[in-house]
Structure 1
């Protein structure tokens, strides 16, 4: 295998500024985001009273993926995440496929998060607010990763405060009933798996820590500590919120809720908190959008360095030490997407692509040796199998559209290789 990829010797290298707490904050900003405000309802619709089982399955797969990603990121502390790991451990094609799925899928997710900000903050001007949010956060990222971390700290604090208010209001209300947590006959295996697939993406933000590997100080120590810390905190938050909401709404009420956390506080008799929850959802979506732009731009940078994307995107700003061209392009594409229409209903392939991305990460981790910090083999095997099972348990449209987008990327890769070979 090749030597670990580092920024050393790269003319346009990023600056290592982030410590453990910074990396944890970025992970929390990615995970404790809009997903917890929106993912619970469709997951409850799929699993019914089996929702807690779906959440547990999603957490197990997320843990395996996080462990594999952390070990790989420590070994290869460069921008790009699984694009780099797949390339180094499995071959150029697998790295490219992971990077392609991540960039395309997460760009669509950026648009969805921006529209979520607009729909919560000012429903009458959803698209205008969404575009403004993209422009503002692209500017924050352009000014340097440290500024992004400062803003993310504020966002995480606000969102945690809002979630705490939801939990307290729900659990202390007279309508709370622990019997609503019981798993009944409506919890079919297929529905539970589908709910796990939907809930998994509320955990997937820890990838942002890995994709920022080139900007982390002492990555061999920082990344393996930051990823499980961020994931563990997020899991505790999600379990507490899910339990609180279920005790008030029950599986059926949760499944039918358009805004489940708002409905929970209303059902708990705390209607005055509804505007606060709506504001919290908007802020959470901002946090997710900020972290998504960071992650997509760094993977774009890595692919541009290898000329899988235009090489001009590999430039790093001489002052701010960020991939400014990649960030500007991502911001422009997302702004155009949200200005043209509502893409939230057309990003099923994003979910499929992210699970394939992590499947490649687990397969890459399986090839590590003990001397390279390989995780226990069972972790990589369970992570790989879990990703594939959850990917194909998603709704049929998500599977078909996701597979089509990956096939398009594979075709583009093949055409490029053919042209280079003929060159």
Structure 2
């Protein structure tokens, strides 16, 4: 019912949104003599603000057709290497000719970046992917919006997620490097343990976890406390809703992205109100830089996807309530996940001292669980000045965090790694 009401509210606002678009066009027209007056600029800003907060934000573009490496433009081509109804594995193939002209090595370590499946699209990691493209052959998980997956495609749960990680590493080839950003930490670590126990030739050479709830019992945040304060049945009853017609996933039970978005915005309500107030003032004053910065952030932040019921509820249960992985109790399809089987997959953890989503200690807990790794196979880094988002995006990620991860991957690149595949000419 809530999902249908949400859709009804959006449809009901359409006439007003169209009116705001017409007003925006009128008050920004160079043919309007009042456009550059205080009244005109205020009217334009009001219409623009209303339209921006009531529109539907679709999946953002990657906008990585060309990147800059050491001052040289390098074209990239997106290639779908593997896919299922629930995910596409995208490779950003760097143009070989551009690399040679920039005198950069064509062969590079293969890195699988596992994007979070927690409400936002994988494009939230645009800055992360761009950073790793400086020195690596980059692959990223592009998770599907559950409301776009027809019921005939079946379920997708926490254990399917683990299987997907294994399948994607197999598609890339032997001894790639895997980077789990936020939510993927526990299932990626479990996948690595299973592959290590099987002596799978496609097991990664290294694993890096950034701001991940490996053990959510440590330094609990507001998010962790909410997950533990409510009984499991509360999440079943209040957070799961049915996808309405005409979406392809009509009838599927999901955790809607808009529910999570509203929850996160309410946690920082004053911050978002202030940001939109500044946006309005920047529109009135004509501050293009401020407007562009605001729109760039919220165009991404307000783009959300739905999670399947089973994946969301199992994540709440396994990761945030029962803590099965750090307690050594997680089983995958009847088989115990034994982290002590990891002996030749190096481990790096990255945390932000100001992280209010995954508190300090939750990610580095992986070191205490992977007991058979040597000191030479471990790197633990806590950045003193970043929060959750800054762990994998922004200036401090580029300047402080990424160079450390790059050096860690380079130190554990193995001879059997697959050389970079040929990139299509742009």
Whether TM-score is above 0.5 comes out as no
- Higher relative contact order (Cα pairs below 8 Å, separated by 6+ residues): 1
Normalising by structure 2, report the TM-score: 0.29
| Greater Rg by CA | 2
Structure having the larger proportion of residues in helix: 1
